[in-house]
Structure 1
Amino acid sequence: MAKRNLTIITYHFVRDQGRSRFPGIKARTPDAFGAQLEYILGRYTVIRMEDLFRALADRAEDLLRGSLLLTFDDGYREHFTHVFPILQTAGVQGSFFPCGRAVMERAVLDVNKIHFILAAVKDHSRIISSIFAALDEMRPRSDLRDNREYYRELAVPGRFDTGEVIFIKRMLQRALPEHIRGAITDRLFREHVTADEEGFADELYMSAEQLKHMKEAGMFIGSHGWDHRWMDTLPQGEQEREIDLSVDMLRVVGVSERELVMCYPYGAYSGPLIDILKTRGFRCGLSVDLGIADLDRDDPFALKRLDTNDLPVSAGEPPHEWTGPAAQEEGKSP
């Protein structure tokens, strides 16, 4: 039997940075996305989420050669305005994973507040100084560590971010107690981005009607949780709440309980979280673990993905680390 390997590509922002108020946001331009899709269509077979369901349900079900799944995280409005028309023209499906709270309550998620704070303030040391000043103010009435200790532990460069950026993200995403990091994030967002959170959310995220329209047009809509939290760190009750509220949102846009897929916020998952997903009828889960998914070996609730930056943008580029071996293994020339 042929190897059942699946390349799953992750996209986030797809926007025209030349016209953006926040040119510092890391994004694919619509033209670059279109060029990369052309590259993909010439070398892979773009499958639908329904094809993945069949392959997971039946180990004898082969995937098409060079199978690839397109996924889009966070439910940005630009996925509707830029990505959706390109996919329709190409005749392929994309799988979109919005957070329920952004859709239903028009609130800006903390993960995005941090993105736009970083984009609005070019000198990231200023943000760090503001965080430290806030911690110094709160320390007498809170159990907080020394600022230098936080920095030594967390300021470690990542695949796409500097040590300073990783430090800011980790402090405001998970290292600090939730009420403290939320207060600091809200203050920085109001100071550097906007005080009109609802208006900003309307500009940033898709609406329920837009998601419903894409679903009816053949796109796939899945869960990205309710509030984009590190779900592996939450107590069971909070995990269940995140999942159940997100499923409520999916029902509103027309998603059947027979087609539930979880795309983990931050890629964070755990055994207990997966157990809850199974009790709710989810079919699989998408991580940010780097690699090509092997449906015969991998846990279907921890499927690996690649980032858009792991693939060439055009046919003229040399093969990247993942495209050469993957394409050759599946019998396609990169």
Structure 2
Amino acid sequence: MDREQEEMQFLGLFGIYKEACKIMNSWSKLLGQISLVLILPLSVIFLVHMEVSEVLVSKIVHNEIVLDDTRAGSPRYNRVSNVLSSEWTTFLLFKAAYFTILLILSLLSTSAVVYTIACIYTGREVDFKKVMSVVPKVWRRLMATFLCSYLVFFVYNVLSFVIFFIWIFGFGSTKAFVPIAYVLLILWFVGFVYLTIVWQLASVVTVLEDTYGYGAMIKSKALIQGKMGVAALVFLKLNISFSIIQYLFEILVVHGVSLGIASRVGYGVLCLLLLFNLFLFGLVVQTVLYFVCKSYHHENIDKSALSDHLEVYLGEYVPLKAKDVQLEQYHV
């Protein structure tokens, strides 16, 4: 990164995007290697999952319709019922395998990209071999943070459901039900976005500091204060782009049988390239946002201390300690 940390606090949305693009262009070879090993499989699995899920669901729906039109207890009914049970088992096992692989690749990709950007920031030498040797160590810490985040999301959604359930049964017949229901839905969405931003930044904190789990989430929550608007715009723009790619793949590839095989393959490759680059760009942007938030709160990161703690000693990853990222409080 060419900018001094004091200057980074003034970066807005487009400034963060510009900084991320500079890093991707300057370190295209290394980031490209990381992407081919981790992010490309992640993108392929996500898109293949959409296609396979559509096939499995279509079979299940077809057999459920057949079962409804078949007399209960007949040989055909029992045969279709057994096939349907097998298809549901296959579908659930496929979903479980998909989410497991997706989670592992997501955490590994986050570990690799965040560590690489931190090395670039400190000016230390970094290569693909070193990054891949550090990633497994960081991954375990990220898993702990993910599990804590998952628990927070679970509790949040359960409480939201309970509140909405009470509202439906307590005020379902009143005229104010519909407008207030919309207000509750908007509040839920705002809370969901906020928790997602906290979790994403907590992933960066987990890699670069000595805290993880709930500690990383608390640190992330403190960091985004004052930069919530920029963080929200980054989140919304990335997710809108992701939704557009997902929608295009669904209508042009998954449901694009009438377009022909060649066209579907071409559109599939295009969506894969777009998704591949979006995943990488999103991870770089998250890391840049971390440094922007640190700068905004005048928590000057000592580059030599960060460099020392990013070193691998005897194969062990040594994370940056919190005291090392707040050694100086600078004033503008």
TM range, smaller chain: under 0.3
More relative contact order in 1 or in 2 (CA 8 Å, sep 6+)? Answer: 2
Greater share of helix: 2
Structure with larger Rg: 2
More strand, by proportion: 1
What's the TM-score, normalizing by structure 2? 0.26
